[in-house]
Amino acid sequence: MPEPDAAGSATSRLQQLERELAGLRTLDERLQAIVCAAAGTGGKGLLSLYRSPEGGLEVATSCGIEGARAADLHTLHTTTIRGRSGQLLGVLSVHLERPRCPTPVEIRLLETCAQLAAEAVEGAPLRDRLV
């Protein structure tokens, strides 16, 4: 049964991410590390943020998407990034080349990464949030 190995891999990935985030200073660096951890091995990730109330979603960073054709990507899972007060900050998506349903471990990993992204956005200095 692959679930225990997957849980161990996800835990290991989150521990590595936590160590990496401790050394990163800018919001862009932190979001890049988060989306790559969410995408994992062989996956592709996309993190989009609302840059202003009247503006739409804007891609903040991605991992492995560069050069990929949209037709070749299938969304594995997308979760919202919400601030402390519940406001929508953006979305985090993981894509694969073959469609399949996400496992419970993958969903928990993505939700944890979305929470880390929210903390990074809300904790970033104002200069890092400006476009």
Q: What percent of the chain stands above pLDDT 90?
A: 19
pLDDT tens across 61-119, in order? 888 777 666 667 777 788 999 999 998 898 998 887 777 888 888 889 899 999 999 99
What average pLDDT score do residues 24-46 get? 85
Task: Return the bridge partners of 61, or none.
Answer: 47
CA angle 125, 91, 11 (to 5 degrees): 85
Under the banding of pLDDT at 50, 70 and 90, the label for residue 2 is very low
Domain that holds residue 69: 3-129
Under the banding of pLDDT at 50, 70 and 90, the label for residue 125 is low
d(CA 76, CA 98): 9
Instruction: State residue 101's pLDDT score.
Output: 83
Instruction: State residue 55's pLDDT score.
Output: 63
Count of domains observed in the chain: 1
Instruction: State residue 42's pLDDT score.
Output: 65
Of 19, 63, 6, which Cα lies nearest the Cα of 38? Answer: 63
Under the banding of pLDDT at 50, 70 and 90, the label for residue 51 is low
Instruction: State residue 59's pLDDT score.
Output: 81
DSSP string of the chain, one letter each residue: --HHHHHHHHHHHHHHHHHHHHT--SHHHHHHHHHHHHH-TT-EEEEEEE-STTS-EEEEEEES-TT--GGG-EEEEEEEEE-TTS-EEEEEEEEESS--PPPHHHHHHHHHHHHHHHHHHHHS-HHHH--
The CATH number of residue 116's host domain is 3.30.450.40
